[in-house]
Amino acid sequence: MTIRNIQHFSMSVPDLEIARVFYEDFGLDTFYRDGTLVCRCFGRDQDQIILTQGPRKRLTYVSFGTDSESLAGIIQRLEQAGIELLEPPANVPPEGIWLRDFDGMLTNIRCAEEAPWDTTARVTFNTLENRTARSGRSELLDEKPTKPRRMGHVVLFSTDPDRKVEFYNEMFGMRLSDRVASFLNFLHSSTGSDHHIVAFGKSNTYGLHHVGFDVGTTDEVGAGARQMVNKGYIPGWGPGRHFVGSNTFAYIRDPWNSMHEYFADMDYIGAQMNWEPQDWLEVGTRSIWGESEPLDFAKNFETPELDR
């Protein structure tokens, strides 16, 4: 009985119009609904981000999907642990259950499958086995705007990442994939999922570190990052390829300094796979190629200035 997927996350921002421009530049479809700004991947009938107006950028909640049997088991475990179920916040889809964990972070779990996403090949690749996979030049040379296919994961801050792993394992049935000492803990669904659909880093409060969007190919990772830098946005880290999860990556800062990642080619951990978590601290750098992470990579920009 476990969380099976990630549905969406919500945060408040000081200016919804600035956010709308950023997310459209990033390659998402945006629209207003009941006073909120909703972001979706083109061709995917699933909210990915719900934004509300607020005095500063602040993570509001994260929503996960599961099946009805798992949800009943999660409710039972929460009740046994004395964790109160809450009413949903205003102007959001009210489905499922709502709770706050020991960090005070609001979490939603609902009966929901992952909505289908575009899986068609966007480009063709010549290989040694098939040197004529395409006729003419690569489709990549058209420089079409990068449009993510799906939101794959969120990386969050916690006052105690190790305790958060225990909480998500005991309450939600999620499993540890890998860790980088006390820097980050990565979790996957025991029913089979990407290497991580949620991860936790250390801070003095909860918050959003970054959100990862799958773009299908490494070329789109690099192209998307360059397109965003050309539009004036601040690069966060990359392009490169991670040790943890094996995916290629490039991070871009949003207008309030959280990071948004284009990624491709992430490890998949199947339900019956004998996966052994590793601690990657000894690797030093966090990538196989590409520059090392910047000094402020682990900084929580949601924390009020006096608390940093």
pLDDT at position 139 is: 86
| Tokens at 37, concatenated | 């700004």
* Domains by residue range for the chain, with CATH: 5-114+148-307 (3.10.180.10)
Mapping DSSP onto H, E and C, the string for 99-136 reads EECCCCCEEEEEECCCCCCCCCCCCCCCCCCCCCCCCC
| Tokens at 129, concatenated | 């086995």
Percentage of residues of the chain with pLDDT beyond 90: 79
| Tokens at 105, concatenated | 């972070």
171-205 confidence digits (pLDDT tens): 999 999 999 876 799 999 999 999 999 999 999 99
Positions of the chain with pLDDT under 50:
306-308
Residue 11 CB-density burial (10 A; 0-12 exposed, 13-18 middle, 19+ buried): buried
Q: Is the pTM of this model over 0.85?
A: yes
